[in-house]
Structure 1
Amino acid sequence: MKMRKELWFGFSIMALVVLSAIALLLSVETVTNGHLGLLMLSLVVVAIMLGFPTAFTLMGMGMIFTWLAYERDTTRTLDLMVQAAYKSMTNDVLIAIPLFVFMGYLVERANLIEKLFKSMHLAMARVPGSLAVATLVTCAVFATATGIVGAVVTLMGLLALPTMMRAGYSTPMAAGAITAGGCLGILIPPSVLLILYGATAGVSVVQLYAGALFPGLMLAGLYIAYVIIMAKLKPAWAPPLSAAERQVSLPMQTRNLPANTEQYAPARLLTALKGQRNAQVPTGYILRQLAVVVLPGLLFVLLAASSWQSVTKPVLQEHYDIQPIGMESSSFSSSGLAEPPVEGGLQEPPVEGGLQEPPGAEPAATNTATAATSDLQEPATAKAEASTTQARQPAPTWWWVGFALLGACNAFFYLFLSFARLEIFKMLLSSFFPLVVLILTVLGSIVFGLATPTEAAAMGALGGFLLAAAYKRLSLEVVKESVYLTAKTSAMVCWLFVGSAIFSAAFALLGGQELIERWVLSMNLSKIEFMILSQVVIFLLGWPLEWTEIIVIFMPIFIPLLNHFGVDPLFFGLLVALNLQTAFLSPPVAMSAFYLKGVAPPSVTLNQIFVGMLPFMGIQILAIVLLYMWPQIGLWLPQLLYK
C-alpha cells in the first residue's frame, strides 16, 4: 500500500529528531544528566507525534527520568511528582479556563453564527471579496467569543464554504479565509493560550490581554486587506455579488408605509408619523423603527460624554502646609528652633549646685508648650489637607482620534441610511452586537481592573447562558452537553499543565535547562539574533506540535533566557501568541485544515486547502515582523493602563 505524503513527512521529522539525539549523545565524551534531559525532550516529541496522549506522555517521561536522576529512589521521585502536581492545582489563574470554555460552548450553541454571517455579508456586499471579508469578520468575532478553533472552522465550513463556492470563489481563497479566520481566537482575548502562557511564564494575564488586543486586530486587518487586494487584482478568485444576492427584503409593514429599499429611512419615518396614507401601519411600529434609527447617535453621545468625564477629570493634588525647619515665620518665631547666641557659644553649666532651673522657668515652659500645642494643631503637622484643582486636564490625542473616527462612522450611517441599510443594521443588532457587547464586557472588566480574569470569566459564562436563553436555544440537553465538553476540555488542559510541571521539574533536575542555556549563551547572540532564533524554532515546532504542547514543553526552556538578553516576557509572549497561529495553519500537520476537510464537499481536496493557507501564513510572519519593529503595537495599551 502506498504511504500518504503526510505520513512520510511525520516519520521523516521523527527520524530527524531521533538521529539528532543519537548524534548528540555520540559526540560527547561522557553522558551527563543534562544529556539525558535532552534525550527525554526528544523522546517526548517523538511520542507525541506517534499519537500518545500529551499530558500522560509528559508525566510518564518525567517520572522515569526523575527516577534515574535520583538514582532509582522511588520515594523522592513520588515526592517530586506530588509537589509538582500540587503546585499546578493551587494556581488560581487556571480557574478561568473552564469558565471561558463554558462561555464558548454556550455561545456556539446559541446558533448566532448563521445570523452573524448573513448580516455581515449583506453589510459588506459592495466591498471587493465581500463573502471572504464577511467570513473573516464572522470568524474573528465568533472565535473571540468562543475560543474554540475546531468549532469555528467546522461551523464556517458548513455555512460559508458552500456559499462562496456557489458565488464562484476559488477553493483556495475560500478555504484560506475560513481556516485563517477560525484561528484568530487563539490570539484575540479572552484566549486560553494567553492564560496558559501567563501561568507558565509568571506574567500577568491582565496585561497579556491588554497587550494582545491590538496585535490581534492588526492580524485580522491584514487578512482582510489581503482578501480585498486579491479580489481587485484577481476578480476571478473572488467575484462580486450579483444584484439579486445583495437584495434585502423589507418587512410587510415597512412596505405599507409605503417605502422601498433605496428610500432615505429617517425622513420617510418622520413623514409617516403625521401622514394619512399609512393608517394601516401602527404608530408604535414607526416609533420603534425611529428608536432603532436614533440608537447609534444616542450611544455615541453617551459614550463620548462618559469617556470625556473620565479622561479629563482633574488631577488630585495633595497640598501639605508644613513649615520648613529653621525658616523664619510668624508662627515659629517665638517657639521654633533658633541658633544659639554667638557670643560665648555653648558653655558648661555651673559646677556648684549642678543644673538648676532659672527663675521663672515654669511659666516660660508653660507658655512654650502652649505655643507648640497651638502650632501642632495646624494642618501642617499630622493632618494634610488635599485640595483639588478646578481646571480639567486636556483630552489625550488618542481620545480625539478615536471619537473623530466614531463620529465619521456615525455621520456616514445617517447620511446614507436607506431602508435596506436599516434592515441590515437591525440584523446586526440581533447577531453582531450581542457578541461584541459580551466580549467587551468581559475584556473591559479585566483590562480596566474591575474584575480578575476568573471573575470576568464567570461573568462571561453567565452572559453566554443569557444569550442562549435570549435566542431560545437554552435547554437541559444544551446545558448538559456544554458542561460535559467543558469538563472534558478543562481536564485535558489541567492534566497537560500537571504533566508540564512534572516534566519541567525533571528537566531542570537533570540539568537539561542549564545545558541549553550554556549552549545558547556560548553562541554570543545579540538580542535580535536570539529573538529571530527563538521565533524560528517556535515556527518550526508549529508543524508537528499543537500550541498547547509548545507552551507547556518549550516555553519553560525559553523563559529563563529572556532576562539575559533583556527581553520583556510580556512582549515575548505577544510574539509567541502571534507565532503560534502557525500551529493550526502550517501544512502538513495543520489541524484547521483537517477540521475543514471533514465538512467540505468531496471536490475540495486537502492540497487545495493547504494552498489557500500559505498566503495567510505569510501574513502571520509579516505581522510578527511588524510587531517586532514597532513593539508599541502590543505594549502601548498595557503601559497606558498599568504604568
Structure 2
Amino acid sequence: MIILLLFLCLFAALLLGFPVAFTLAGVSIIFGYFAFGIDLFYLLPLRIYGTMSSQILISVPLFIYMGVMLEKSGIASRLLNTMAILLGRIRGGLAISVAIVGAMLAASTGIVGATVVTMGLMSLPAMLNRGYSKEYATGIIAASGTLGQIIPPSIVLILMGSVMNISIGNLFIAAVIPGVSLVILYILFVYVYAVIYPDKVPHFSEAEIITYQKELSFRLLFRTFLLPFILIVAVLGSIFLGIASPTEAAGIGALCATLLTKLEGKLTWENIKTAAYESGNLSSMVFMILVGATAFGLVFRGMGGDDFLVELIQNADLSPYMFLAIVMIGIFIAGFFIDFIEIIFIFMPVVTPIFMHYDMNLLWIAILVSLNLQTSFLTPPFGFSLFYLKGVAPESVKTSHIYKGIIPYIVIQIVLISVIIQFPQIVTWLPEFLD
C-alpha cells in the first residue's frame, strides 16, 4: 500500500504541474524519511554522488554542445539546399532530401530541436511554395527531425544505457540498423505518396532542374558532404572501432564541430556563448531530473518496490512478451503527456529488474523503448517536434495540419517496433558481429 501511495502522490504532483525533478526528489524524500528515518540522509548523498560521478554522463553536455555548434555553422542549411537540387528529378525529391538530411544531422548532432527548427526554416517555405500539401510537408519535417532520438550519437541512448547499466557503445551499434530502417521507410512513404497523389506533390519542371543544377560545383559538393561525414566518422567511427569510449568520442565530436564552424567562418564569440549556454541549460535539466530519479530509485527499492512488482507479475502469470506489451503501451501513452527524459528516469529503473527476471535481452529492450520514446516527440498534445515546427512555420500552417501530417510516421514507427519484437536479430546481429 505504501508503494502504491508513493506512485499516486508522484503522478498527482506531476499532473498538478510541479517540476519533475523536484517532484521526484521531494515525494521520495518524504516517503523515504518515514520508511528509513534519519538514515535516508546518509544514504541519499552517497547514491547521488555515485550516479553523478559516472564518466558516461560527461558525454551528455559534450554531445549537446556539438549539436548546437554544428547548427550554428550553417552546414545543415547548405546540406538541405544541395540535396534538394540533386534530387530535383525525383517526384517528392524535396521531401526525400529532408529525410536524408534529417538522418545525417541526427548522426552528426542528435539534437531534435535544432534539427526540426533548421529544416522547418529552410525546407517548409520551399515545399509550400512548390505546392506541396501542408500535411505532407510538415509531416516529413517533424518526423525526420526526431531521428536523432534513435540514430547515434543519441542522448536517449546515453541516458538509457546509464539507467539500465548497458554499454553505450553496444547501444550505439545496435541502433544503426533500426535507425537506417526507419529512414528507408520514411523515404519509401514520401515517394509512394508522391506517386499516388501527384497533385499534392508537384514535380520540378525540366527548366527548373537545369537552372538549379547549374549552381552545383565539385567544390560545393565536396564541402557540403565531406564536412558532416568527417564529424560522423570521427564520433561514431572511433566508438565502433574501439578507439574511443563514448565519452571520449563526445569530446572529439565537440572539438570537430568547433573546428568545422571555424572553417565555415561562423566561430564568433556570440555563437560560442550560445552553444555554452544551451549546453549548460539542457544538461542542468537532465541532471536535476537524474538526481530526483536517483532519490526515487533508492526509496522505491529500499521499500521493496522491485520485489513487490516481480511478485505481482508472477502472481498475474504474465508471459515475458505480455509484460513487454504492457510496458510498451504504457510508455507510448505516457509519451502523449510527459517528456522522454522523465519517462526514462521514472519507468526504466522500475521495469528493468523485471526484464532481468524474465532473462530478456536488455540491449533489445533498450532499442525498443528508444524507438517508442521517439513517438513522444510526435504525439499530441505535448509532442515537442510539433511545437518546434509550429514556432517556425508560416501562419497559413495550422496545428491541425501538423497533427494530420505526422500520423503516417507514428504508424511507421509502430510497425517497425512490431517487426523488431518479432525479429530481435535486427538489433542484436551487428553488436554480435562486431564483438
Calculate the TM-score normalised by the size of structure 1: 0.66
Work out which of the residue numbers 68, 86, 89 in structure 1 matches 2:34.
Answer: 68
The answer for the alignment partner of 1:185 in structure 2 is 148
Deviation track 1:31-56 (CA, whole Å, cap 9, x = no partner) reads xxxx2223322333343344322212
Deviation track 1:287-344 (CA, whole Å, cap 9, x = no partner) reads xxxxxxxxxxxxxxxxxxxxxxxxxxxxxxxxxxxxxxxxxxxxxxxxxxxxxxxxxx
Quickly say closer, same or farther: Cα 1:425–1:187, change in 2 above 3 A.
Answer: farther
The answer for the alignment partner of 1:210 in structure 2 is 173
Alpha-carbon distance between aligned partners in 1 of 2:311 and 2:400, rounded to the nearest angstrom: 42
Q: Is 2:71 aligned against 1:108? A: yes
Alpha-carbon distance between aligned partners in 1 of 2:224 and 2:316, rounded to the nearest angstrom: 54
Unaligned runs of 5+ in 1: 1-34, 251-260, 262-419
Residue-pair matches, total: 435
- Given that 1:180 and 1:616 are in contact with CA atoms closer than 8 Å, whether structure 2 keeps it comes out as yes
The answer for the alignment partner of 1:463 in structure 2 is 256
The answer for the alignment partner of 2:235 in structure 1 is 442
Deviation track 1:497-550 (CA, whole Å, cap 9, x = no partner) reads 111111111111233322222222222222322222221121111111111011
Work out which of the residue numbers 187, 191, 196 in structure 2 matches 1:233.
Answer: 196
Work out which of the residue numbers 525, 537, 550 in structure 1 matches 2:343.
Answer: 550
Runs of 4+ in 1 over 6 A off after TM superposition: none
The answer for the alignment partner of 1:624 in structure 2 is 417
Q: Is 2:97 aligned against 1:134? A: yes
Q: Is 2:24 aligned against 1:58? A: yes
Q: Greater share of helix residues, 1 or 2?
A: 2
**Which deviates the most, 153-162 or 458-467?**
153-162
The one-letter amino acid paired with 1:472 is: G
Counterpart mapping for 1:224-263 below 5 A: 224-248=187-211
Q: Is 2:226 aligned against 1:433? A: yes
Deviation track 1:177-222 (CA, whole Å, cap 9, x = no partner) reads 0110000001100011111111111100010000001110111111
- Given that 1:100 and 1:461 are in contact with CA atoms closer than 8 Å, whether structure 2 keeps it comes out as yes
**Which deviates the most, 502-511 or 169-178?**
502-511
Counterpart mapping for 1:508-587 below 5 A: 508-587=301-380
Alpha-carbon distance between aligned partners in 2 of 1:49 and 1:245, rounded to the nearest angstrom: 53
Work out which of the residue numbers 113, 116, 124 in structure 2 matches 1:161.
Answer: 124
- Given that 2:57 and 2:158 are in contact with CA atoms closer than 8 Å, whether structure 1 keeps it comes out as yes
Alpha-carbon distance between aligned partners in 2 of 1:472 and 1:51, rounded to the nearest angstrom: 43
Quickly say closer, same or farther: Cα 1:242–1:103, change in 2 above 3 A.
Answer: same
- Given that 1:190 and 1:209 are in contact with CA atoms closer than 8 Å, whether structure 2 keeps it comes out as yes
Alpha-carbon distance between aligned partners in 2 of 1:490 and 1:603, rounded to the nearest angstrom: 35
Structure number with greater Rg is 1
Identity of aligned residues (%): 39
Alpha-carbon distance between aligned partners in 2 of 1:148 and 1:499, rounded to the nearest angstrom: 23
Alpha-carbon distance between aligned partners in 2 of 1:163 and 1:103, rounded to the nearest angstrom: 28
- Given that 1:80 and 1:502 are in contact with CA atoms closer than 8 Å, whether structure 2 keeps it comes out as no
Deviation track 1:384-420 (CA, whole Å, cap 9, x = no partner) reads xxxxxxxxxxxxxxxxxxxxxxxxxxxxxxxxxxxx8
The answer for the alignment partner of 2:111 in structure 1 is 148
Counterpart mapping for 1:164-563 below 5 A: 164-248=127-211, 423=216, 426-563=219-356
Q: CA deviation at 1:248?
A: 4.0
Quickly say closer, same or farther: Cα 1:139–1:123, change in 2 above 3 A.
Answer: same
- Given that 1:121 and 1:130 are in contact with CA atoms closer than 8 Å, whether structure 2 keeps it comes out as yes
Alpha-carbon distance between aligned partners in 2 of 1:244 and 1:65, rounded to the nearest angstrom: 71
Alpha-carbon distance between aligned partners in 2 of 1:527 and 1:626, rounded to the nearest angstrom: 17
- Given that 1:115 and 1:427 are in contact with CA atoms closer than 8 Å, whether structure 2 keeps it comes out as no
Counterpart mapping for 1:604-643 below 5 A: 604-642=397-435
The answer for the alignment partner of 2:6 in structure 1 is 40
The one-letter amino acid paired with 1:445 is: S
Q: In angstroms, what is the RMSD of aligned CA positions?
A: 1.6
Deviation track 1:62-99 (CA, whole Å, cap 9, x = no partner) reads 111111212xx3x3221132122111122111011111
Deviation track 1:467-521 (CA, whole Å, cap 9, x = no partner) reads 0000000012211221111111111112221111111111112333222222222
Unaligned runs of 5+ in 2: none
Quickly say closer, same or farther: Cα 1:81–1:166, change in 2 above 3 A.
Answer: same
Quickly say closer, same or farther: Cα 1:158–1:46, change in 2 above 3 A.
Answer: farther
Alpha-carbon distance between aligned partners in 1 of 2:12 and 2:113, rounded to the nearest angstrom: 24
Alpha-carbon distance between aligned partners in 2 of 1:532 and 1:638, rounded to the nearest angstrom: 25
Alpha-carbon distance between aligned partners in 1 of 2:138 and 2:217, rounded to the nearest angstrom: 26
Deviation track 1:556-590 (CA, whole Å, cap 9, x = no partner) reads 11100112222100110011111111110112221
Quickly say closer, same or farther: Cα 1:184–1:249, change in 2 above 3 A.
Answer: closer
Q: CA deviation at 1:244?
A: 4.0
